[in-house]
Structures are given as structure tokens and as C-alpha cells.
Amino acid sequence: MKSMPIARIAVGAPLRSLFDYAIPPGAQPAPGARVAVSFGRAKAVGVVVELLGETDCPHDRLKPLSRVIDPEPLLADDDLAFLRWVADYYHHPIGEVVLTALPRRLRSAVATLEAGEPMWELTDAGRAFLQSSAGRAPRQREILDWLQRQTAHIAPQQQLKSIFSGSHAVFKTLCDKGLIASGMRLAATPLAIDSDDGHELNAEQAKAYESVAGKLGEFAVALLDGVTGSGKTEVYLQLATAVLASGKSVLVLVPEISLTPQLYERFRQRLGDTVQMTHSAMTDNEREHAWHRARLGLSRVLLGTRSSIFTPIADLGLVIVDEEHDPSFKQTEGFRYSARDLAIVRGQRAQCPVVLGSATPSLESLRNVQADRYRHLRLDQRAGNAQPPRIDLLDVRDQPLQCGVSAPLLERVDAVLARGEQVMLFLNRRGYAPVLTCFSCGWLSDCPRCDARQTVHRASGLLWCHHCGAQRRVPSVCPECGEDDLHPLGQGTEQLEGYLAERYAQYPLIRVDRDATARKGSLDALLQRLHDADAAILVGTQMLAKGHHFPRVTLVGVLDADGGLYSADFRSTERMAQLLIQVAGRAGRGDRPGQVLIQTRFPEHPLLQTLVRHGYRAFAEQALQERQSASMPPYSHQALLRAEASRRDAAETFLAEVAAWASQVASSEVALWGPVPAPMARRAGKHRVHLLLQAAQRNALHAVLRALPEFAAGLPVAKRVRWHLDIDPIDLY
């Protein structure tokens, strides 16, 4: 067969192969560059993975490339090799994996944006406005005054948006008036590394720093296990400073968008404008600018959420995963990957250290410490003079509750507010009430599309399913019997806020949940109200549990700690313990001692007793022993095959055929559980069925998984079923 130049292309389609295309005369595609191709009857954008001299495909069936989009590759050979490994490990279509690594704009046939960083500069008109407009337009003056204090009166647009959140209209007005001008900067200002930055590490922090810094230039994983408020971020900053001084780059992963701006500001203040951030709330153009700057080495610190793990980074020298235990690092829709686990792989491929930080490490990471795969670096002292809070259980079995709050907790709230201090009440349930019922006939506000209840949202007048998003108006009479006897059952943050606002009308009351912070910039505004207040009450969900510093909060009340004690998910107690400790860590972070009161109807529960009396580490040891005795992760490895269909029998038949096949081809080390209905058997109108595969050794599990997708896709019933494979699942719902 005569050889001809061939390009092997990854196309963003749900197909598990690469596709060969002929390279037309004059075209010079490079691996890592985008190309336009004809794919079936449609046009598509793909990425060149490799160039070949020949192919098994008959030449007369080869289609030519339509167009080379990028004259230079966007992904280096190392990036492509990493993405191919990822696709192989997660058994996911290679094209979808490769396209995930590109910014959203570049998944279409558009030209790349300039690689510079968008800036705003104070103009002569802006300086004149500051001198002549006393008392006018205070928000505009505040921004202009801040710009005037910066070097050369210029600053990155993303930095100003972070500092002055919620001011998009103000920035537009300033631009329209000519008071500020936009521009692009191609390179970050060189960073002057100061070895004496005035932030002295305590003995524990210094030991942790030296342990990681001594491994710069080689692969090693360290679990930075530090109690809340112990100064993990300071260790991150000093490690990043050392990496930058060596000419390398740093990747910092955080679990939540809400945590990114505050950590970004801390890094930016210390490390200058070489710090970039990226997350889903940014515009497509902003994210692409940050992406280019990271891959070209124009910025040397990239701070972002889960998807940042795929960003090409020049000269990667350190990977940091903050709050490594957080389930948000696992993508649970579409391409299901774990950013924390992939951080380890990236560190190994780049031969650089990886730091996993947490006050409540995952059992997987603690197991890796036990097996000597990770070093265990402990920070047991809170930074400064702050002392760990005292944690007590409140038995509420025989207590009357006011909107979920017991009388003893209310007495403590009264005392704390009277001292001019702040209170945080934690209820991980947004909305007004979890369910609406009719006292006459027993009707419940079931979701018509899920095996779940619709939550009452009184402010919007809606019944809202938090699983599929289905909404309807709150009825005025019972839809079943027509009686005017409807009542909400249970409490949510909206109801709790209303009760507390009436009881404590003289104190500021701030509610933080997904509903209250839906508008851009609203979270920053709410937290600023708290920081500006003296005595105040903070009510919220798990959004408050991570990373926030509330120095005046001395009392934390947890209203319902029992949800995770008796769940069908074996990970529920671990997540409950992590959440309780993270919430408790918001108390007593200043110079006043803190107290945490946990309301429960199961005060004798052994794991809860261990957690409160002996702390998270003792709890984790006990939980690990239970997992080991049951041969559950992290002492085994799992893959979950999920199937959903309009008819339950289709999903059951599909998984039954897969299970019969797998039982024949898998080794005896692989156990199959199912098919069984999912814990939520119907969601968004689809019936859901699970097949769980488990093995003590990862190789035995993946041996059968490699052949499973092809077999499953070939089943006749597969056309009536939507299915996906979840490697290392973190929940069974």
C-alpha cells in the first residue's frame, strides 16, 4: 500500500476511537492543532493527535482535512499523552476528553484570541474626574481612586472585577465616559521574590514547608492535614514563592467558585499579577485569555476549579489541591473524572510535588498515607492565638423546637449576641420547607418526574424539585381533595431566617445559600455585611462550611446533624463528619474562644460520639477499620454502570445482559452487584438502574471495563437506553 500523509484526529463525538484523514497538498497540520473536518454529514472541529505515514483504512475512503485552523499547536505532546491516558483510564470517548481541555470558544472553528491579559488603565480624563468631582458618583470614584494607586495606574480587568464584584455597569460607564481605557498586556510584570516577606511560619508550618520544598523537581505527594485555621494557605503561598523563584509554574485547584476570588486575592497580593484564575462564572473570552497565558508561561500561577486540571501549563513545578476531600472535585455528569486524582497523575508526569490540603482528609488519602504512598504533614495548631472550639451535642429528642431550633441553643444565641459577638446557624437545607402536605387527606408535594419531594420556596411561591429542577406554583388548596388544609413540614433556611428575623429584629441577619446568592456579586456583598457588623446572626448551608474566615463568630449551631447517620450511601458518615468539622471550624477563629452545639436525636451514635469526643482523626481511623472489614473503598476499587430509560424494563434488560456477559469474561476477583434500582429509582422522568463492579485490584477491574463499552453499545436494547460508566464513583445515586 502506497504511503500518504495521514492525520489521526480526535473529534468531539461519543465514539471511542480516533479518525484518520488525508492531509491535502500544502497543508501542514501539527499534533495539538485544531482542524476542520467533514464528519458524517456534518462539519466538525477536531484536534490532531498524531501524524502517520500509512493507515489501515482504504485510501479511497479517506476524507481530506477541510482546513487547518491553528498554524501552531495549542496542545503539546505531553498534554496529548496525558489526555489519552485519561480517556483510557475513565473509558471515555477520546474526542470528548481532548475537547474538554480546550476553552469553550476553541471547540468551534474560530481563531484564537490574543494571548495577552485584558487590562484597564486610568486615563487623563479619569485623573481629572478625581480632582474635580468631589462627592459625585462614589462607586466610580472608588474604582478610579484604586486604579490611581496602582503601578502605572493600570490593573488586570479580572482583578478589578474580583475586588469590585457586582460593578459591571459601573465599569461600562467608566469606559463609555473615557475615564478608563481597556488594553492588552502580553507578559506579567516580573515578580521580585522577597525571601523575607514578613510572614513567619510557626514550627509546624515550617516543617511542612521544608518537607515539600525539599522535593521540588521530583514527584512526591504530601497530605497537608491541618485543622481549620492552622495556616495551610500560608504554606501554599511560601511553596509557590519558592517554585516561582526556580522559574516553574504552579497549579492551585479549589472545589468551589465561591472560594476562588478570596484565595485569588491572597495569592495576587503576595505573588503579583503572574496569578491568574479561571472558573465557570467567567466569560468565555476571560477563560480563554487565562488559558493561553498559562500554556505560554505568561502567567505562572493558575488558580481554578475542577476543569482547570486539563489546562496546559508551561513548566509545571507544583500542584496544590485545597480542600482535597471535597466531592466537588468529581465531575458527576458527562465526562466523569476526579480532578483530585488527576492532579496526582499530572504531578507524576511533570515530576513535581503535589500537595493535598484539608482539615478533614478523605479516607482515600488517609489510606494512601497508611500505605506510604503519601507523606503525612500535620498542622495541629491554629494560627495566631486562636484556640480550637469546644464541641458539644444537644439531645433534642424531647425538646420542643422553634423552626428547628431548641430552647438551649436559643439561650446560647441570646448570650452571645448580648456580648456583641456573632452566631452562625447551619442548616443544610435551602428553601422554606422540604415538603408541603395536606392534613385532611395526606397529599404530599411529590415531584411528578422524580422519586423525591418538591421543596416549598415561599419567597417565590414555588414548589421546586432540587433534583430535576421541576417547578410549579404553590397551590392554594389541596390538588387531591380540594381542602384548604395545606401545611409545610420541616424547616429550610428561608423559614429559619423568617423566625430569627422576628425574634432578633435588633441584630443584622444574613442568609447565605444558593437562592440568596444567585445574583453575581451577592455573596461578597452578604459576607461584607457580616464583616462590617458587630453582633449578628449568619444563617446558611454548606456554602459557609469551607474556607471562610469569620473572626467574630464565637458560636456555631448545627440544627440537624442526623441526615448522614443512616443513609444508604456508605460514604454518608464520612461526608457528615467532614461537614460538621468544617462548619465547626468557623467558630473561634479570632481572639475569643468558640463553641459548637450540634443538635441530634441520636447522641449515642458511636461514630458521632467518636467525632465529638476525640476529633476527626479518631473518627477516620474507626471509619477506615469499618471499610476494611467490609472490603469497601478505599480497600477496593469500583466502577458503576448506570442505565436510564423511559421504561424500567429496558434499563433492567440492558444491565442484565451486561452482567451476564461480565460474569463470563471477568476474573473471579471482580464482584458484580446488581442490576438493582438506583436509590432514587426515577429522576427527571427516567427510570434508573445500577450495576456495580468491584475488585480488590484495579488491574482486574479495568481488564473487564476495557471491553465493556463496546459490548454494551452493541446490544440491541442499548438503543432504548441511555447509559454511562462511572469509574471510582463517589456516590451511588
HEC readout, 592-615: CCCEEEEEECCCCCHHHHHHHHHC
Same domain, 622 and 547: yes
Q: Whole-angstrom Cα distance, residue 269 to residue 262?
A: 11
Angle between helices 168-176 and 138-148 (to 10 degrees): 80
Pair 541, 426 in one domain: yes
Collect contacts of 77-83 with beta carbons under 8 A, ≥24 apart: 77/31, 77/32, 78/349, 79/32, 79/312, 80/31, 80/32, 80/47, 80/49, 80/50, 81/349, 82/345, 82/346, 82/349, 83/310
Ranking 149-163, 611-625, 708-722 by mean pLDDT, the lowest is 149-163
| Domain assignment of residue 454, yes or no | no
52 and 145 part of one domain: no
Residue 678 is part of a domain; what is its CATH number? 3.30.70.600
Asked whether the predicted pLDDT for residue 195 surpasses 50, the reply is no
414 and 547 share one domain? yes
Q: Is residue 439 part of a domain?
A: no
CATH number of the CATH domain containing 285: 3.40.50.300
CA dist., res. 358 & res. 326, Å (int): 9
Does residue 194 carry a pLDDT above 70? no
**Band of residue 2 on the pLDDT scale cut at 50, 70, 90:** low
Mark whether 173 and 251 lie in a shared domain: no
φ, ψ for residue 370, nearest 5 deg: -55, -40
Indicate whether 562 belongs to any domain: yes
CATH classification at residue 86 = 3.40.1440.60
Whether 467 is in a domain gets the answer no
What confidence score (pLDDT) does residue 384 get? 67
Q: Is the domain of 625 the same as that of 647?
A: no
**DSSP-derived 3-state class of residue 419:** coil
**Same structural domain for residues 324 and 233?**
yes
Rounded Cα gap, residues 81 and 86, in angstroms: 9
For residues 223 and 372, state if they share a domain: yes
pLDDT at 92: 96
Q: Rounded to the nearest 5°, which phi and psi values hold at 443?
A: -55, 140
Q: Is residue 299 part of a domain?
A: yes
Residue 263 lies in a domain: yes
d(CA 47, CA 30): 9
Of the candidates 318, 98, 117, the one whose C-alpha atom is nearest the C-alpha of residue 224 is: 318
End position of a domain, from candidates 185, 213, 228? 185
Cell of 342: 488527576
Same structural domain for residues 21 and 153?
Answer: no
pTM flag (> 0.85): yes
pLDDT single digits (tens) 265-284:
889 889 988 898 888 878 88
- pLDDT digit string, tens, across residues 132-173: 766 577 778 888 888 888 777 788 777 777 777 666 778 888
| Residue 413 belongs to a domain | yes
Q: Are 404 and 491 in contact (CB under 8 A)?
A: yes
Give yes or no: residues 231 and 326 share one domain.
yes
> Beta partners for 597?
392, 557
Range of the domain at 216: 203-379
CA distances from 564 to 5, 178, 266, 360, 605 (A): 59, 56, 34, 16, 12
Tell me which amino acid residue 566 is.
Answer: Y
pLDDT class of 732 with cuts at 50, 70, 90: confident
Q: What is the distance between the alpha carbons of residues 278 and 25, in angstroms, rounded to a whole number?
A: 39
CB half-sphere exposure, 471, CA atoms < 13 A: 8
The grid coordinates of residue 476 equal: 392554594
> What's the confidence (pLDDT) of residue 21?
93
Q: How far apart are CA 547 and CA 530, in angstroms?
A: 15
* Residue that finishes a domain, picked among 578, 595, 629: 629
Say if 195 falls within a structural domain. Answer: no
Looking at residue 329, what is its pLDDT?
Answer: 96
Please enumerate in sequence order all residues whose Cβ is within 8 A of that of 561, keeping only pairs 6 or more positions apart, or say none: 576, 580, 598, 599, 600, 608
Same-domain check for residues 641 and 619: no
Q: In the chain, how many domains are there? A: 5
Let me know whether 89 and 215 are in one domain. no
